């Protein structure tokens, strides 16, 4: 059953996380990294999807140090509030909280993977580069992937981008990743924009979301089997 739990970070701060055990025989763990809108209904739904696919899933509330239980609508006010929290949250702090979630999941056995969307997509890429003990990572439309494309990766990664994303040039991100990690797959979804996995009517693209999830699941299953 899904529940909100509390996890202690390396600095002793206790942040909340939305957690759901695997529905089927447990394959491993998945850390779900939020968009700028916080742990909203879309993040919770994604945690549920991973649980149904056999993964114990957890979504840390990465803005808790600034505002407990933050979640925002997808309007101008929500975007500005979310961006303010994201910009004021040091990357190393967020990665440290991701590591705390890794430890929480690892104590239950199996390997731990990371999937992130938007803000979380950038963090998923950085977690693959900087956090030990991550088996695989899936980065969806992270705006910082191009900036940090040269960082050595500690695990396999897959990158998902929307062709019509107004804020991210998919071709530039693909070129940057391929220049440093030629074996890392970068998938560009031609009919999709930013946030295509999010089931809000203005952003959702079911075909792209389903294909990206299938590709991510293949990567995670392979990594957790040790193949």
* HEC per residue, 177-227: HHHHCCCCCEEEECCCCCCCCCCCCCCCCHHHHHHHHHHHHHHHHHHHHCC
Model pTM above 0.75:
yes
Contact criterion met (CB below 8 Å) for 196 and 189 = yes
pLDDT at 127: 98
Q: Which residues contact 220 (CB under 8 A, 6 or more apart)?
A: 27, 28, 30, 55, 113, 115, 135, 136, 138
Q: Which residues contact 193 (CB under 8 A, 6 or more apart)?
A: 162, 163, 164, 165, 166, 203, 205
What HEC string does 10-49 produce?
Answer: CCCCEEEEEEECCCCCCCEEEEEECCCCECCHHHHHHHHH
How far is the C-alpha of 144 from the C-alpha of 159, rounded, in Å?
A: 12
pLDDT at 141: 97
Q: Rounded to an integer, what is the distance from CA 42 to the centroid of its chain?
A: 12
pLDDT at 200: 84
Backbone angles phi, psi at 97, to 5 degrees: -70, -35
Token pair recorded at residue 192: 């999709």
How far is the C-alpha of 173 from the C-alpha of 113, rounded, in Å?
A: 22
Contact criterion met (CB below 8 Å) for 58 and 19 = yes
pLDDT at 103: 97
pLDDT at 202: 83
pLDDT at 104: 97
Contact criterion met (CB below 8 Å) for 137 and 125 = yes
pLDDT at 24: 84
Token pair recorded at residue 73: 């609508």
Tens-binned pLDDT, residue by residue, of the chain (227 aa)? 899 999 999 999 999 999 999 998 999 999 999 999 999 999 999 999 999 999 999 999 999 999 999 989 889 999 999 999 999 999 999 999 999 999 999 999 999 999 999 999 999 999 999 999 999 999 999 999 999 999 999 999 999 999 999 999 999 999 999 999 999 999 999 999 999 998 888 889 999 999 999 999 999 999 999 74
- Report all structural domains of the chain as residue ranges with CATH numbers, in order of start: 3-225 (3.40.50.1820)
H/E stretch holding 79? helix 76-88
């Amino acid at each position: 059953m899904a529940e909100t739990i509390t996890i202690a970070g390396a600095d002793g701060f206790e942040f909340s996380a939305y957690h759901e055990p695997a529905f089927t025989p447990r394959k491993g763990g998945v850390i779900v990294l939020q968009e700028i809108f916080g742990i909203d209904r879309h993040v919770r739904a994604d945690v549920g999807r991973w649980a149904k696919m056999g993964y114990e899933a957890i979504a840390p509330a990465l803005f808790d140090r600034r505002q407990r239980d933050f979640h925002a609508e997808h309007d101008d006010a929500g975007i500005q509030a979310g961006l303010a929290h994201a910009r004021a949250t040091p990357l190393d702090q967020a990665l440290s909280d991701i590591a705390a979630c890794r430890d929480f999941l690892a104590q239950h056995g199996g390997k731990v993977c990371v999937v992130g969307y938007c803000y979380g997509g950038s963090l998923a890429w950085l977690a693959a580069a900087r956090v030990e003990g991550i088996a695989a990572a899936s980065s969806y439309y992270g705006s910082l992937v191009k900036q940090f494309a040269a960082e050595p990766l500690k695990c396999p990664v897959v990158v998902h981008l929307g062709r019509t994303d107004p804020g991210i040039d998919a071709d530039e991100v693909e070129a940057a990743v391929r220049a440093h990690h030629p074996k890392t797959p970068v998938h560009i979804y031609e009919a999709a924009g930013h946030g295509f996995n999010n089931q809000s009517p203005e952003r959702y693209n079911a075909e792209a979301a389903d294909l990206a999830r299938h590709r991510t699941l293949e990567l995670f299953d392979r990594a957790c089997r040790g193949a």
